[in-house]
Amino acid sequence: MSPSNRKTAQKGSRVKRVSPRHTFDSAPIGLALVGHEGRFLQVNPRLCRLLGYAEKQLLASTLGAVTDPHDLKTLAVRSRSLLAGEVDEFRLEQRFRRADGHPAWGQIHATLATNNGERSFACVITIDEGSEHGFSGLSRALSFAVIRALTEAPTADEVPRKILQNLCGTGSWARGEIWIVDVRLKVLRLLDTWPPPASEPIERETTTGTTCLPGIGLPGHVWTAGKPVWVADLAGKPAFSRLATATQCGRGAAIAFPILNGRTVTGVVALFSLDTRQPDGGLLRVVADIGRQIGQVIERKRAEEALQKSVEDIHAVLDNVADSVMMTD
């Protein structure tokens, strides 16, 4: 090939260069560059559509402002570690708040970046399409809320309240209760509530020490049936409504599910809302799995604590033996 023909071929095969900005803007996933204060420095059109904001609105806002309040603490801790150079990246599953007020479940993958000499981080943000309009993403959110509670609670005694706090915050339930089976008395005993009884003076006497017989009330019914129950409107089920619940939640909906250790029901979780809610078969299956998970983890934590206590007792005995030997000598 002659030099002139080679130049012509090279000219015809020249690849058009695509600018990084064009790649950023045309990406089919949400992308953002976030500054030191959590403020958006750059956002792409896909992220704007996912969150329902105009570009100018997001650039005047922060990542924290579009994050669900219940997930802010975790996001802040991970962001600080990244900006401080303690980690190279982080991944989070969390909830976002769209412009229309609906929650949206999604993921963040953040890596350290440099922008005009200042440390920032680049985020890939994906949002589950099914969760963009709120309630359809509740099943996954509830499951994650329980996983987070089980891992955050340092002892078995702190697990129940942490679970209720996370479940109520995730699903917008006005009240949560955990009932534990008292094998000796053959009753369900109210173990904990959210909000805590101490912050509800009107209800303190009606909730403290409350018990429930098998088949009586919503918790008793779930204990007997051994499976989740959904009540769309408590007003139509007076047998499932109790004074303490009616005081707090009016005439809304309720969902309750058993805590299982193997096939044995060891407790019941009940959640109450201020509004009526129609049954969701998918959500019922999810809470059934959650009940089994709670039972397994509580038993595991109790076993770990028992083992730790045994180790401490053995060390105490050995220390006493050593002291005795020293005194004898």
pTM higher than the cut 0.85: no
Q: Best-predicted range by mean pLDDT among 31-35, 36-40, 182-186?
A: 182-186
193: which strand partners? Answer: 177
With H, G, I as helix, E, B as strand and everything else as coil, classify residue 173: coil
Residue 126, phi then psi, degrees to nearest 5? -115, 145
Distance CA 103, CA 170 (A): 10
pLDDT digits (tens, 9 = 90+) for 96-155: 888 988 777 777 888 887 656 667 888 888 775 544 434 445 666 666 677 667 666 666
pLDDT digits (tens, 9 = 90+) for 275-307: 888 887 777 877 888 888 788 777 766 666 666
Distance CA 165, CA 108 (A): 24
Contact (CB, 8 A) for 79 and 69: no
Closest by CA position to 63, among listed 24, 27, 88, 94 = 94
Q: What DSSP character marks residue 130?
A: G
Distance CA 191, CA 212 (A): 12
Q: What DSSP character marks residue 137?
A: G
Q: How would you class 147 by CB atoms within 10 Å of its CB: exposed for 0-12, middle for 13-18, buried for 19 or more?
A: middle
pLDDT digits (tens, 9 = 90+) for 42-98: 898 988 998 999 999 999 999 999 998 888 888 999 888 888 888 888 888 788 888
Is pLDDT above 60 for 328?
A: no
User: Where are any strands of DSSP class E within the chain?
Assistant: 30-34, 40-43, 89-97, 103-115, 118-127, 175-182, 187-194, 211-212, 229-231, 254-261, 264-272
Q: What DSSP character marks residue 225?
A: H
pLDDT digits (tens, 9 = 90+) for 191-245: 888 887 654 443 333 334 488 899 888 899 999 999 999 998 887 776 675 544 4
Average pLDDT across the chain, whole number: 75
Q: Which residues contact 113 (CB under 8 A, 6 or more apart)?
A: 33, 119, 120, 121, 122
